[in-house]
Homo-oligomer: A and B are copies of this chain.
């Protein structure tokens, strides 16, 4: 009989992350497939931005000097073909926003700041040398690092890459992830089942959760029902996958041959059991080069631990340099209690800066309603019994959350 560990949830997460080292394997892909992939090398700028020194305003360009009265000798429009020319200290050119500033000039005064403007001359006040001029390479200097290795490619980054004409993107290869479940009694969702038979929820919810966060995975079936067959089965698949995620079968009291089969295949576990409610029977470890997560059989717990432990670990394993969920701050809407001897992962609903625990934290881990009525998770360390109304809590949102209330605008 397996005895479960009692480590904290935060230790469990740190153990997973500490052991999640990306493989140094990359590939070049075309930019239209790059969304959500992780950069495997720094990308350097191919172009300056601005590509040439240009005017930030409609106005007059001149060489900075003590002269107050300047003769207007020419007009330069955006898009004009560039030619340099002689210009005296008491001369200037009329120039449009975005038009190239000749190399001999250094300052632009906007029309509305001039003291007098005629077709022939302008009279100008004091103005700082270099004002209203956008220098070549001021935003981006050719050859400098533009985007760093480890960044996740967003639409914003795609905009930048296209603007630079960079279309072959070096990214880490995708993780190969296998999803397995235990429990020969489980029905697959397409099978017909008596009301009392139970469907294999976890494989599908874990796959959907991974997919939402950009990870592909294969549901490769059921763990066989004996130790011997399971040892062989795991031995057969372990070299084909970077990550194996199972659910069920490692709880205290379960037939524990799944754990044993992993051990016989060389598993080094990071932990086997977390002192958290829900989701205690959870294991993680490494087997040769394959990362193993054994999630609880209970669908609510399997979901929460895949979200809170596996997703950050998979982010790091796939090369991302940012892998902790960002939290948002929210005011707690109602008092509730938690067992102070355990850590807790608590479901609730975030809206407009407030957060409400699902049903007063009175829900069973056998339920799924708490999951579909929530949009966020709160991680609570042990030691606290009453969480008071009005406290500020740190909350992890499941997603870019949409709402049916407009609370968008400031002031």
Contact = CB atoms under 8 A, between A and B. Distances in A.
A31 B158 CA distance: 31
A163 interface: yes
B381 A411 contact: yes
Contact of A160 (B50, B351, B371, B378): B371
A350 interface: yes
A326 to B, nearest CB: 4
B159 A201 contact: yes
A155 interface: yes
B411 A384 contact: yes
A293 to B, nearest CB: 16
B35 A156 contact: no
Given A324-B407, A350-B326, A402-B323, A155 B303 contact: yes
A402 B326 CA distance: 5
A200 interface: yes
Interface string A384-411: 1000000001101111111111111111
Given A156-B303, A208-B155, A383 B397 contact: no
Contacts of A211: 35, 155
Contacts of A199: 162-165
Contacts of A162: 189, 199-201, 204-205
A1 interface: no
Contacts of A379: 408-410
Given A154-B212, A158-B208, A201-B163, A326 B195 contact: no
Given A159-B201, A322-B404, A369-B140, A409 B397 contact: no
A237 interface: no
Interface string A154-174: 111111111111010000000
Interface in A57-109: 98
Contacts of A394: 407-410
A199 to B, nearest CB: 5
A368 B48 contact: no
Interface residues of A, number: 104
Given A156-B371, A322-B402, A165 B189 contact: yes
A52 interface: yes
A189 B163 CA distance: 8
Given A163-B199, A381-B409, A35 B323 contact: no
A80 to B, nearest CB: 12
A328 to B, nearest CB: 4
Contacts of A212: 35-36, 154-155
Contact of A195 (B51, B189, B410): B51
A404 B165 CA distance: 29
Contacts of A10: 406, 408-409
